[in-house]
Amino acid sequence: MRIVSITAGAAGMFCGSCMRDNTLASALIDLGHDALLVPMYTPITTDEVDASAGRPVFFGGVNVFLQQSKFTAWAFRRTPRFVDAMFNNRRFLRWVGRFAERTDYSRLGNLTASMLRGLDGNQRKEVGKLIDWLKSDIRPDVVLMTNALLSGMVPELHRQLNVPILTTLQGDDIFLDELPEADRRRCIELIRANDAFTAGYIATSAAYADYMAGYLGIDRAKIHVVHPGINTKPHGGIATRPADRPPTIGYFARLAPEKGFHNLVEAFIELKSNPTLDRVRLAKLKFAGWLGAKNKPYLDAQLAKITAAGLTADVEWVPCPDLASKARFFQSIDVLSVPTTYREPKGLYVLEAWANGVPVVQPAHGSFPELIARTGGGVLVPANDIPALAKALAELLNDHPLRDALGRAGHDSLKASFESRHMAEATIAVLNQYVSGLRA
Protein backbone atom coordinates (compact mmCIF):
# COMPACT_ATOMS: atom_id res chain seq x y z
CA MET A 1 0.00 0.00 0.00
CA ARG A 2 1.32 3.44 -0.85
CA ILE A 3 0.58 5.62 2.16
CA VAL A 4 1.28 9.34 2.35
CA SER A 5 1.35 10.73 5.88
CA ILE A 6 1.35 14.51 6.12
CA THR A 7 2.83 15.73 9.41
CA ALA A 8 3.18 19.26 10.75
CA GLY A 9 6.66 20.31 11.85
CA ALA A 10 6.82 22.19 15.14
CA ALA A 11 9.52 24.81 14.48
CA GLY A 12 12.38 22.86 16.00
CA MET A 13 10.43 21.60 19.02
CA PHE A 14 10.42 17.92 19.96
CA CYS A 15 6.74 17.32 19.26
CA GLY A 16 4.97 14.14 20.36
CA SER A 17 2.80 14.09 17.23
CA CYS A 18 5.82 14.42 14.92
CA MET A 19 7.63 11.68 16.80
CA ARG A 20 4.61 9.37 16.70
CA ASP A 21 4.10 10.03 12.96
CA ASN A 22 7.79 9.41 12.29
CA THR A 23 7.78 6.13 14.22
CA LEU A 24 4.62 5.00 12.43
CA ALA A 25 6.06 5.73 8.98
CA SER A 26 9.22 3.77 9.78
CA ALA A 27 7.21 0.84 11.15
CA LEU A 28 4.94 0.78 8.08
CA ILE A 29 8.04 0.60 5.87
CA ASP A 30 9.35 -2.29 7.99
CA LEU A 31 6.06 -4.09 7.32
CA GLY A 32 6.68 -3.77 3.58
CA HIS A 33 4.44 -0.80 2.77
CA ASP A 34 5.45 2.19 0.68
CA ALA A 35 5.01 4.84 3.38
CA LEU A 36 6.05 8.43 2.75
CA LEU A 37 6.21 10.99 5.55
CA VAL A 38 5.75 14.51 4.19
CA PRO A 39 6.47 17.54 6.43
CA MET A 40 4.44 20.75 6.52
CA TYR A 41 5.37 24.19 7.86
CA THR A 42 8.89 23.21 8.98
CA PRO A 43 11.05 20.09 8.98
CA ILE A 44 10.22 17.78 11.86
CA THR A 45 12.47 17.31 14.89
CA THR A 46 12.86 13.78 16.19
CA ASP A 47 15.47 11.85 18.16
CA GLU A 48 15.19 8.87 15.79
CA VAL A 49 16.05 8.67 12.09
CA ASP A 50 13.93 11.24 10.26
CA ALA A 51 11.65 9.30 7.91
CA SER A 52 10.75 12.55 6.10
CA ALA A 53 14.37 13.37 5.17
CA GLY A 54 14.67 14.24 1.49
CA ARG A 55 11.00 15.10 1.09
CA PRO A 56 10.00 18.65 0.14
CA VAL A 57 8.44 20.78 2.87
CA PHE A 58 4.96 21.91 1.82
CA PHE A 59 3.09 24.91 3.19
CA GLY A 60 6.41 26.31 4.40
CA GLY A 61 5.82 28.36 7.53
CA VAL A 62 7.28 31.53 6.04
CA ASN A 63 5.21 31.30 2.85
CA VAL A 64 2.05 30.57 4.84
CA PHE A 65 2.65 33.61 7.05
CA LEU A 66 3.54 35.96 4.19
CA GLN A 67 0.46 34.88 2.24
CA GLN A 68 -1.66 35.73 5.28
CA SER A 69 -0.15 39.05 6.36
CA LYS A 70 -2.00 42.12 5.10
CA PHE A 71 1.36 43.75 4.34
CA THR A 72 2.72 41.00 2.08
CA ALA A 73 -0.29 38.90 1.06
CA TRP A 74 -0.91 40.46 -2.37
CA ALA A 75 2.63 39.79 -3.55
CA PHE A 76 3.27 36.40 -1.95
CA ARG A 77 0.01 34.86 -3.12
CA ARG A 78 1.36 35.45 -6.64
CA THR A 79 5.07 34.61 -6.38
CA PRO A 80 6.43 31.99 -8.79
CA ARG A 81 7.24 28.57 -7.43
CA PHE A 82 11.02 29.03 -7.57
CA VAL A 83 10.66 31.93 -5.13
CA ASP A 84 8.45 29.85 -2.84
CA ALA A 85 11.04 27.06 -2.99
CA MET A 86 13.70 29.39 -1.55
CA PHE A 87 11.52 30.10 1.47
CA ASN A 88 10.79 26.37 1.83
CA ASN A 89 14.47 25.46 2.08
CA ARG A 90 14.94 23.13 5.06
CA ARG A 91 17.96 24.94 6.50
CA PHE A 92 16.21 28.29 6.23
CA LEU A 93 13.04 26.95 7.87
CA ARG A 94 15.04 25.44 10.75
CA TRP A 95 16.73 28.79 11.29
CA VAL A 96 13.42 30.68 11.23
CA GLY A 97 11.90 28.06 13.52
CA ARG A 98 14.07 29.28 16.41
CA PHE A 99 12.03 32.48 16.42
CA ALA A 100 8.65 30.93 15.58
CA GLU A 101 8.68 28.97 18.84
CA ARG A 102 7.93 32.22 20.67
CA THR A 103 4.65 32.64 18.75
CA ASP A 104 1.57 33.29 20.84
CA TYR A 105 -0.95 30.72 19.55
CA SER A 106 -3.88 32.87 20.67
CA ARG A 107 -3.04 35.28 17.84
CA LEU A 108 -3.27 32.64 15.10
CA GLY A 109 -7.05 32.46 14.78
CA ASN A 110 -7.28 34.14 11.38
CA LEU A 111 -4.39 32.12 9.95
CA THR A 112 -5.86 28.86 11.25
CA ALA A 113 -9.28 29.67 9.79
CA SER A 114 -7.68 30.57 6.46
CA MET A 115 -5.87 27.22 6.36
CA LEU A 116 -9.10 25.43 7.21
CA ARG A 117 -10.81 27.07 4.22
CA GLY A 118 -8.44 25.34 1.80
CA LEU A 119 -8.95 26.67 -1.73
CA ASP A 120 -11.07 29.50 -0.33
CA GLY A 121 -8.28 30.57 2.02
CA ASN A 122 -5.21 32.71 1.52
CA GLN A 123 -2.94 29.68 1.12
CA ARG A 124 -4.77 28.24 -1.91
CA LYS A 125 -1.52 28.29 -3.91
CA GLU A 126 0.05 25.92 -1.38
CA VAL A 127 -2.87 23.50 -1.72
CA GLY A 128 -2.28 23.40 -5.46
CA LYS A 129 1.45 22.66 -5.11
CA LEU A 130 0.85 19.74 -2.77
CA ILE A 131 -1.87 18.25 -4.96
CA ASP A 132 0.22 18.59 -8.13
CA TRP A 133 3.10 16.73 -6.45
CA LEU A 134 0.87 13.98 -5.12
CA LYS A 135 -0.89 13.49 -8.46
CA SER A 136 2.15 13.55 -10.69
CA ASP A 137 4.92 12.03 -8.57
CA ILE A 138 3.34 9.96 -5.79
CA ARG A 139 -0.16 8.69 -6.64
CA PRO A 140 -0.98 7.40 -3.14
CA ASP A 141 -3.55 4.77 -2.22
CA VAL A 142 -4.48 6.65 0.94
CA VAL A 143 -3.54 9.89 2.70
CA LEU A 144 -3.17 10.36 6.45
CA MET A 145 -3.36 13.87 7.93
CA THR A 146 -1.61 14.47 11.24
CA ASN A 147 -4.43 16.55 12.73
CA ALA A 148 -7.81 18.09 11.96
CA LEU A 149 -6.29 21.57 11.72
CA LEU A 150 -5.00 20.53 8.28
CA SER A 151 -8.42 19.46 7.03
CA GLY A 152 -8.86 22.55 4.83
CA MET A 153 -7.04 20.75 2.01
CA VAL A 154 -9.09 17.56 2.40
CA PRO A 155 -12.01 18.50 0.09
CA GLU A 156 -9.69 19.27 -2.84
CA LEU A 157 -7.41 16.31 -2.11
CA HIS A 158 -10.48 14.09 -2.15
CA ARG A 159 -11.71 15.57 -5.44
CA GLN A 160 -8.35 15.48 -7.24
CA LEU A 161 -6.87 12.22 -5.93
CA ASN A 162 -10.06 10.18 -5.42
CA VAL A 163 -8.50 8.24 -2.54
CA PRO A 164 -9.55 7.89 1.10
CA ILE A 165 -8.24 10.59 3.42
CA LEU A 166 -8.09 9.91 7.15
CA THR A 167 -7.25 12.39 9.87
CA THR A 168 -5.38 11.59 13.07
CA LEU A 169 -6.68 13.13 16.29
CA GLN A 170 -3.78 13.51 18.71
CA GLY A 171 -3.88 16.92 20.36
CA ASP A 172 -5.97 19.25 18.21
CA ASP A 173 -7.91 20.61 21.18
CA ILE A 174 -4.72 21.80 22.90
CA PHE A 175 -4.10 24.30 20.10
CA LEU A 176 -7.75 25.21 19.62
CA ASP A 177 -8.21 25.93 23.32
CA GLU A 178 -5.48 28.58 23.07
CA LEU A 179 -7.58 30.59 20.61
CA PRO A 180 -10.10 33.23 21.67
CA GLU A 181 -13.58 31.74 21.94
CA ALA A 182 -14.91 33.30 18.73
CA ASP A 183 -11.92 32.06 16.72
CA ARG A 184 -12.19 28.61 18.27
CA ARG A 185 -15.88 28.33 17.33
CA ARG A 186 -15.15 29.48 13.80
CA CYS A 187 -12.34 26.94 13.35
CA ILE A 188 -14.41 24.07 14.76
CA GLU A 189 -17.24 24.92 12.35
CA LEU A 190 -14.77 24.73 9.45
CA ILE A 191 -13.39 21.39 10.67
CA ARG A 192 -16.94 20.09 10.89
CA ALA A 193 -17.61 21.21 7.30
CA ASN A 194 -14.46 19.44 6.08
CA ASP A 195 -15.60 16.29 7.87
CA ALA A 196 -17.92 15.56 4.94
CA PHE A 197 -14.82 14.79 2.81
CA THR A 198 -12.91 12.90 5.51
CA ALA A 199 -13.25 9.12 5.23
CA GLY A 200 -12.42 8.47 8.87
CA TYR A 201 -10.32 9.39 11.86
CA ILE A 202 -7.67 7.68 13.96
CA ALA A 203 -7.43 8.64 17.62
CA THR A 204 -4.55 7.65 19.87
CA SER A 205 -6.79 6.59 22.76
CA ALA A 206 -10.43 5.69 23.31
CA ALA A 207 -10.83 8.46 25.87
CA TYR A 208 -9.59 11.02 23.36
CA ALA A 209 -11.83 9.61 20.63
CA ASP A 210 -14.84 10.01 22.91
CA TYR A 211 -13.84 13.53 23.91
CA MET A 212 -13.05 14.79 20.42
CA ALA A 213 -16.28 13.42 18.94
CA GLY A 214 -18.15 15.81 21.21
CA TYR A 215 -15.60 18.63 21.02
CA LEU A 216 -15.63 18.77 17.22
CA GLY A 217 -19.19 17.54 16.73
CA ILE A 218 -18.25 14.58 14.51
CA ASP A 219 -19.64 11.06 14.39
CA ARG A 220 -17.93 8.86 17.00
CA ALA A 221 -18.44 5.88 14.70
CA LYS A 222 -15.98 7.43 12.22
CA ILE A 223 -13.18 7.46 14.81
CA HIS A 224 -10.95 4.39 15.08
CA VAL A 225 -8.58 3.91 18.01
CA VAL A 226 -4.95 3.00 17.37
CA HIS A 227 -2.82 3.29 20.48
CA PRO A 228 0.67 4.70 20.01
CA GLY A 229 3.70 2.46 19.90
CA ILE A 230 7.42 3.05 20.25
CA ASN A 231 10.60 1.58 18.88
CA THR A 232 12.02 -0.28 21.87
CA LYS A 233 15.41 -1.10 20.32
CA PRO A 234 17.21 1.99 21.71
CA HIS A 235 15.96 1.29 25.23
CA GLY A 236 17.74 -0.93 27.70
CA GLY A 237 14.95 -3.10 29.02
CA ILE A 238 14.56 -3.82 32.72
CA ALA A 239 17.67 -2.62 34.53
CA THR A 240 18.94 -3.73 37.93
CA ARG A 241 18.30 -0.80 40.26
CA PRO A 242 20.34 -1.05 43.48
CA ALA A 243 18.16 -1.18 46.58
CA ASP A 244 20.59 1.01 48.52
CA ARG A 245 20.54 3.83 45.96
CA PRO A 246 18.49 6.91 46.88
CA PRO A 247 15.14 6.46 45.10
CA THR A 248 14.73 8.77 42.13
CA ILE A 249 11.58 10.31 40.66
CA GLY A 250 11.82 11.13 36.97
CA TYR A 251 10.03 13.61 34.72
CA PHE A 252 10.52 13.41 30.94
CA ALA A 253 8.40 15.72 28.79
CA ARG A 254 8.32 19.27 27.50
CA LEU A 255 8.94 21.74 30.28
CA ALA A 256 5.64 23.53 29.94
CA PRO A 257 2.69 24.31 32.23
CA GLU A 258 0.33 21.90 30.48
CA LYS A 259 2.70 18.99 31.16
CA GLY A 260 2.36 19.66 34.88
CA PHE A 261 6.00 19.96 35.95
CA HIS A 262 4.88 22.44 38.62
CA ASN A 263 2.57 19.78 40.08
CA LEU A 264 5.50 17.38 40.38
CA VAL A 265 7.74 20.01 41.96
CA GLU A 266 5.11 20.82 44.59
CA ALA A 267 4.51 17.13 45.29
CA PHE A 268 8.25 16.56 45.64
CA ILE A 269 8.55 19.40 48.13
CA GLU A 270 5.63 18.01 50.14
CA LEU A 271 7.04 14.49 50.00
CA LYS A 272 10.48 15.62 51.21
CA SER A 273 9.00 17.56 54.12
CA ASN A 274 7.29 14.50 55.65
CA PRO A 275 9.36 13.53 58.72
CA THR A 276 7.75 10.08 58.95
CA LEU A 277 9.21 8.86 55.66
CA ASP A 278 12.88 8.32 56.39
CA ARG A 279 13.77 6.66 53.11
CA VAL A 280 11.67 9.04 51.02
CA ARG A 281 13.55 11.98 52.52
CA LEU A 282 16.58 10.67 50.60
CA ALA A 283 14.65 10.84 47.31
CA LYS A 284 15.94 12.69 44.28
CA LEU A 285 14.09 14.41 41.44
CA LYS A 286 15.58 14.13 37.97
CA PHE A 287 13.94 15.90 35.06
CA ALA A 288 14.55 16.28 31.34
CA GLY A 289 12.76 17.53 28.27
CA TRP A 290 12.59 20.21 25.63
CA LEU A 291 12.47 23.80 26.89
CA GLY A 292 11.21 26.55 24.61
CA ALA A 293 12.18 30.18 25.08
CA LYS A 294 8.67 31.24 26.07
CA ASN A 295 8.63 28.69 28.92
CA LYS A 296 11.96 29.70 30.48
CA PRO A 297 10.22 31.97 33.04
CA TYR A 298 7.99 29.02 33.96
CA LEU A 299 10.98 26.77 34.59
CA ASP A 300 12.75 29.53 36.53
CA ALA A 301 9.71 29.79 38.81
CA GLN A 302 9.81 26.05 39.52
CA LEU A 303 13.54 26.11 40.24
CA ALA A 304 12.95 29.03 42.61
CA LYS A 305 10.44 26.88 44.55
CA ILE A 306 13.04 24.14 44.83
CA THR A 307 15.68 26.58 46.04
CA ALA A 308 13.33 28.13 48.59
CA ALA A 309 12.62 24.65 49.97
CA GLY A 310 16.34 23.97 50.33
CA LEU A 311 16.25 21.06 47.89
CA THR A 312 18.63 22.20 45.15
CA ALA A 313 21.09 19.39 45.90
CA ASP A 314 18.30 16.83 45.47
CA VAL A 315 17.26 17.93 41.97
CA GLU A 316 19.07 17.25 38.68
CA TRP A 317 18.23 18.75 35.30
CA VAL A 318 19.24 16.89 32.12
CA PRO A 319 18.55 19.37 29.27
CA CYS A 320 16.94 17.78 26.21
CA PRO A 321 18.98 14.58 25.85
CA ASP A 322 19.55 12.71 22.60
CA LEU A 323 18.18 9.19 22.07
CA ALA A 324 21.04 7.39 23.81
CA SER A 325 20.98 9.83 26.72
CA LYS A 326 17.22 9.43 26.99
CA ALA A 327 17.58 5.69 27.43
CA ARG A 328 20.21 6.27 30.13
CA PHE A 329 17.87 8.75 31.81
CA PHE A 330 15.09 6.17 32.12
CA GLN A 331 17.56 3.58 33.35
CA SER A 332 18.59 5.94 36.16
CA ILE A 333 15.13 6.59 37.65
CA ASP A 334 12.81 4.46 39.78
CA VAL A 335 9.42 5.96 38.95
CA LEU A 336 8.19 8.39 36.29
CA SER A 337 5.52 11.03 36.74
CA VAL A 338 4.34 13.60 34.19
CA PRO A 339 1.24 15.00 35.94
CA THR A 340 -0.34 16.80 32.99
CA THR A 341 -3.05 19.39 33.52
CA TYR A 342 -4.75 18.50 30.20
CA ARG A 343 -6.12 15.31 28.67
CA GLU A 344 -2.95 13.79 27.25
CA PRO A 345 -4.01 11.90 24.09
CA LYS A 346 -0.83 9.79 23.67
CA GLY A 347 1.60 9.53 26.58
CA LEU A 348 4.71 8.39 24.70
CA TYR A 349 6.88 9.04 27.75
CA VAL A 350 4.84 6.46 29.68
CA LEU A 351 5.66 3.87 27.02
CA GLU A 352 9.32 4.86 27.14
CA ALA A 353 9.36 4.41 30.90
CA TRP A 354 7.87 0.92 30.55
CA ALA A 355 10.46 0.06 27.89
CA ASN A 356 12.98 0.44 30.71
CA GLY A 357 10.93 -1.30 33.40
CA VAL A 358 9.99 1.95 35.17
CA PRO A 359 6.50 2.25 36.77
CA VAL A 360 4.51 5.47 36.45
CA VAL A 361 2.29 7.66 38.61
CA GLN A 362 -0.10 9.58 36.38
CA PRO A 363 -3.28 11.67 36.62
CA ALA A 364 -6.55 9.83 36.02
CA HIS A 365 -7.46 11.55 32.76
CA GLY A 366 -6.69 11.42 29.05
CA SER A 367 -4.99 8.28 27.78
CA PHE A 368 -3.46 7.30 31.12
CA PRO A 369 -6.35 5.29 32.64
CA GLU A 370 -6.66 2.98 29.64
CA LEU A 371 -2.88 2.59 29.26
CA ILE A 372 -2.47 1.63 32.92
CA ALA A 373 -5.60 -0.57 32.87
CA ARG A 374 -4.18 -2.51 29.92
CA THR A 375 -0.70 -2.92 31.40
CA GLY A 376 -0.83 -2.68 35.19
CA GLY A 377 2.32 -0.59 34.88
CA GLY A 378 1.53 2.17 37.33
CA VAL A 379 -0.76 4.08 39.65
CA LEU A 380 -3.43 6.69 38.93
CA VAL A 381 -4.14 9.74 41.11
CA PRO A 382 -6.76 12.50 40.80
CA ALA A 383 -5.63 15.21 38.41
CA ASN A 384 -4.02 18.29 39.98
CA ASP A 385 -4.20 16.75 43.47
CA ILE A 386 -0.77 17.48 44.97
CA PRO A 387 -1.24 15.55 48.26
CA ALA A 388 -2.48 12.47 46.39
CA LEU A 389 0.45 12.65 43.98
CA ALA A 390 2.95 12.99 46.83
CA LYS A 391 1.39 10.07 48.69
CA ALA A 392 1.43 7.77 45.65
CA LEU A 393 5.05 8.62 44.89
CA ALA A 394 6.02 8.01 48.53
CA GLU A 395 4.33 4.61 48.54
CA LEU A 396 6.21 3.47 45.45
CA LEU A 397 9.52 4.87 46.61
CA ASN A 398 9.15 3.06 49.94
CA ASP A 399 8.19 -0.27 48.37
CA HIS A 400 10.97 -1.63 46.16
CA PRO A 401 9.18 -4.96 45.38
CA LEU A 402 6.02 -3.11 44.33
CA ARG A 403 8.02 -0.80 42.06
CA ASP A 404 9.69 -3.78 40.44
CA ALA A 405 6.38 -5.59 39.94
CA LEU A 406 4.67 -2.60 38.34
CA GLY A 407 7.68 -1.83 36.18
CA ARG A 408 7.88 -5.41 34.93
CA ALA A 409 4.13 -5.49 34.22
CA GLY A 410 4.47 -2.32 32.15
CA HIS A 411 7.51 -3.66 30.32
CA ASP A 412 5.94 -7.01 29.46
CA SER A 413 2.66 -5.46 28.30
CA LEU A 414 4.53 -2.92 26.19
CA LYS A 415 6.43 -5.69 24.42
CA ALA A 416 3.16 -7.53 23.82
CA SER A 417 0.98 -4.63 22.64
CA PHE A 418 2.66 -1.22 22.37
CA GLU A 419 5.70 -1.58 20.16
CA SER A 420 5.83 0.38 16.91
CA ARG A 421 4.95 -2.70 14.82
CA HIS A 422 1.71 -3.10 16.80
CA MET A 423 0.78 0.51 15.97
CA ALA A 424 1.61 -0.07 12.29
CA GLU A 425 -0.38 -3.31 12.11
CA ALA A 426 -3.41 -1.68 13.75
CA THR A 427 -3.15 1.27 11.36
CA ILE A 428 -3.11 -1.04 8.33
CA ALA A 429 -6.16 -2.85 9.70
CA VAL A 430 -7.99 0.48 9.76
CA LEU A 431 -6.81 1.54 6.30
CA ASN A 432 -7.88 -1.81 4.82
CA GLN A 433 -11.45 -0.86 5.69
CA TYR A 434 -11.22 2.06 3.24
CA VAL A 435 -8.89 0.88 0.49
CA SER A 436 -9.57 -2.17 -1.68
CA GLY A 437 -7.30 -4.13 -3.99
CA LEU A 438 -4.18 -3.27 -2.00
CA ARG A 439 -0.70 -4.60 -2.31
CA ALA A 440 0.34 -6.64 0.74
Looking at residue 64, its pLDDT comes to: 85
The architecture in CATH of the region 2-230+421-431 reads 3-Layer(aba) Sandwich (3.40)
Looking at residue 114, its pLDDT comes to: 94
Looking at residue 99, its pLDDT comes to: 63
Q: How far apart are CA 15 and CA 27, in angstroms?
A: 18
Q: Quick check: 204 and 401 in contact, CB under 8 A?
A: no
Spatial CA neighbour of 261 closest among 230, 231, 295: 295
Q: How far apart are CA 341 and CA 427, in angstroms?
A: 29
Looking at residue 107, its pLDDT comes to: 77
pTM: 0.91
> Distance of CA 299 to CAs 106, 248, 259, 295, 305, Å?
21, 20, 12, 6, 10
> Distance of CA 376 to CAs 236, 309, 329, 373, 410, Å?
20, 34, 22, 6, 6
Q: Which residues of the chain have pLDDT under 70?
A: 10-13, 97-105, 275-279, 320-321, 437-440
Q: Quick check: 112 and 188 in contact, CB under 8 A?
A: no
List, for residues 253-297, the tens digit of each pLDDT value. Answer: 999 999 999 999 999 999 998 766 666 778 899 999 989 888 999
Q: Quick check: 297 and 334 in contact, CB under 8 A?
A: no
Are 2-230+421-431 and 248-418 the same fold in CATH? Answer: yes
Looking at residue 203, its pLDDT comes to: 97
The architecture in CATH of the region 248-418 reads 3-Layer(aba) Sandwich (3.40)
Looking at residue 347, its pLDDT comes to: 94
List, for residues 52-94, the tens digit of each pLDDT value. Answer: 888 888 888 788 888 888 778 778 888 888 888 888 887 777 7
Q: Where are the domains of the chain?
A: 2-230+421-431, 248-418
Cβ burial of 197 (10 Å; 0-12, 13-18, 19+) is middle
> Distance of CA 169 to CAs 124, 238, 241, 294, Å?
24, 32, 37, 26
